[in-house]
């Protein structure tokens, strides 16, 4: 069994960081299925600080018995705050040591995290690390409206969205890929999956869930769940 908690970041980070989170396992340990969310995380695991790039498929992470980890999650399109000039696409489906991205500044954070008394203090150290990146952080101003436009049941076509933003399709795809880690079509599917997982089945059946979040039908929902989570919708929601 395990537990998981989130809290909002401090105000100055609210535009780029979705949350500060903690995750722990009981004495039996825990195996966690992580599904794509269009985000990049910075994670402290008790002895190392890793940057986790955007996933395109589910991965399974084992939490040892009694383990405690904490992290900060960049919003979709805000990966540059945690990656600097490294394009998010270069970390697609990867988890790397933060010193490979940030060098000495990451090592200083690792040393500070190693002396943290609890997860709360570790989370505040991660926030300070992110705050130190803010002066050099240059967000792509087109990404927030792109993510907003794509995170709806009936998103616009890529050509229509590009035209609305005054961009060519090539420019739109390039900028989304650099800031998110994959193109707008993949991002649309990931955002739709996240809406479905937040809603869950509850009293609604799978057909109603599919309609509500923007899948063509229940079969489409099932195909996308299998592709992105490795499970059928019923298997996924039962496991949760």
| Domain ranges across the chain | 2-136, 143-239
In this predicted model, what pLDDT tens digit does every residue of 170-213 receive, in sequence order? 999 999 999 999 999 999 999 999 999 999 987 779 999 999 99
CA distance 93 to 53: 6
b/e code 99-118 from CB counts within 10 Å (16+ = b): bebbeeebeebbebbeebee
Other Cβ atoms closer than 10 A to 44? 26
CATH no. of 143-239: 1.10.10.60
Q: How sure is the predictor about 113, in pLDDT bands with cuts at 50, 70 and 90?
A: very high
Find out whether 214 and 155 touch, Cβ atoms under 8 Å. Answer: yes
Q: How far is CA 185 from CA 12, 152, 212, 231, in A?
A: 31, 13, 19, 21
Enter the pTM of the model. 0.93
Instruction: Indicate the burial class of 170 (C-beta count within 10 angstroms; 0-12, 13-18, 19 or more).
Output: exposed
Token code pair at residue 146? 């792109």
Please give the residue that has the higher pLDDT: either 44 or 202.
44
Provide the pLDDT for residue 77.
Answer: 94
Average pLDDT of the segment spanning 74-103? 94
Q: Which range among 29-33, 60-64, 66-70, 202-206 has the greatest average pLDDT?
A: 66-70
Quickly list H helices, the chain.
80-83, 99-102, 104-114, 119-133, 143-150, 158-165, 169-180, 184-199, 206-213, 218-229, 233-239
């Amino acid at each position: 069994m395990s537990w998981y908690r989130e809290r909002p970041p401090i105000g100055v980070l609210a535009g780029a960081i979705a949350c500060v989170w903690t995750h722990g396992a009981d004495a039996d340990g825990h195996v966690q299925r992580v599904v794509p969310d269009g985000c990049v995380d910075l994670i402290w695991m008790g002895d190392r600080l890793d940057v986790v790039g955007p996933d395109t498929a589910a991965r399974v992470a084992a939490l040892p018995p009694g383990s405690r980890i904490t992290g900060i999650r960049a919003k979709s399109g805000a990966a540059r705050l945690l990656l600097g000039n490294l394009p998010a696409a270069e970390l697609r489906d990867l988890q790397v040591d933060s010193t490979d991205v940030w060098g000495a500044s990451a090592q200083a954070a690792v040393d500070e995290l190693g002396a943290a008394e609890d997860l709360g203090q570790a989370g505040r150290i991660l926030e300070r690390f992110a705050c130190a990146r803010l002066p050099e952080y240059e967000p792509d101003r087109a990404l927030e409206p792109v993510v907003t436009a794509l995170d709806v049941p009936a998103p616009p076509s890529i050509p229509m969205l590009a035209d609305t933003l005054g961009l060519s399709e090539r420019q739109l795809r390039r900028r989304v890929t650099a800031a998110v880690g994959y193109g707008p079509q993949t991002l649309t599917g990931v955002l739709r999956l996240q809406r479905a997982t937040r809603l869950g089945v509850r009293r609604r059946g799978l057909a109603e869930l599919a309609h509500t979040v923007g899948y063509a039908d229940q079969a489409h929902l099932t195909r996308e769940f299998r592709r992105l989570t490795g499970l059928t919708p019923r298997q996924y929601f039962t496991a949760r």
